[in-house]
């Protein structure tokens, strides 16, 4: 009986940790979506606008997938973005760059936002998550890295 209770408590704790991690990553994804939408609206170059729109769509898709997993694990997804310091600063700075109309500055701020997203996923990957949750996080991390690397490449070329 004792080992069953211990196992149950461990699984419950792991589920709670997984929910917290998934909610955090969903909020990070929503922040990214909002940031990329703002970036797309703030640039004139059509190619760059399309790049930002695709990145926003990828973030939105990631947030929906994470929300679906949260529900599957018995949690309630949030529709808010994060208020974490790094993400908030990055997207606040993005608004200032857009106002200035400098596409290189917009790309720099988008890269800063993707740095924060990468860090959030890297932290999540170090956690002891259930295998199915870890698989989702690993796959999404690859997408975050691709977004980051593309934005960095565009910034370097600007």
Mean pLDDT for the stretch of residues 98-125? 88
CA angle 64, 103, 122 (to 5 degrees): 40
Instruction: Look at residue 106 and tell me whether its pLDDT is greater than 80.
Output: yes
Report the C-alpha gap between 56 and 85 in whole angstroms. 21
Max CA distance (Å), the chain: 66
CB 39 within 8 A of CB 52: yes
Residue 56 — pLDDT band, cuts 50, 70, 90? very high
Name residues whose C-beta falls within 8 Å of residue 67's C-beta, 6 or more positions apart in sequence. 26, 77
pLDDT at res. 131: 94
> Both tokens of residue 128?
């002891």
pLDDT digits (tens, 9 = 90+) for 2-38: 444 433 333 454 468 899 999 999 999 998 998 899 8
Instruction: Look at residue 96 and tell me whether its pLDDT is greater than 90.
Output: no
> Both tokens of residue 22?
């998934």
Per cent of the chain over pLDDT 70 is 76
pTM more than 0.85: no
pLDDT at res. 10: 38
């Amino acid at each position: 009986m004792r080992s069953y209770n211990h196992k149950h408590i461990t699984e419950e704790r792991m589920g709670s940790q997984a929910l917290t991690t998934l909610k955090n990553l969903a909020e990070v994804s929503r922040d990214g979506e909002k940031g990329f939408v703002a970036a797309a609206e703030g640039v004139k170059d059509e190619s760059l606008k399309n790049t930002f729109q695709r990145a926003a769509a990828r973030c939105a898709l990631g947030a929906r997938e994470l929300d679906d997993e949260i529900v599957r694990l018995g949690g309630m997804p949030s529709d808010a973005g994060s208020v974490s310091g790094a993400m908030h600063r990055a997207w606040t700075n993005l608004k200032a760059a857009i106002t200035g109309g400098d596409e290189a500055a917009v790309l720099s701020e988008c890269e800063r936002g993707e740095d924060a997203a990468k860090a959030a996923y890297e932290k999540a990957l170090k956690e002891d998550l259930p295998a199915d949750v870890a698989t989702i996080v690993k796959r999404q991390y690859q997408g975050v890295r691709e977004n980051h690397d593309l934005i960095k490449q565009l910034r370097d070329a600007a």
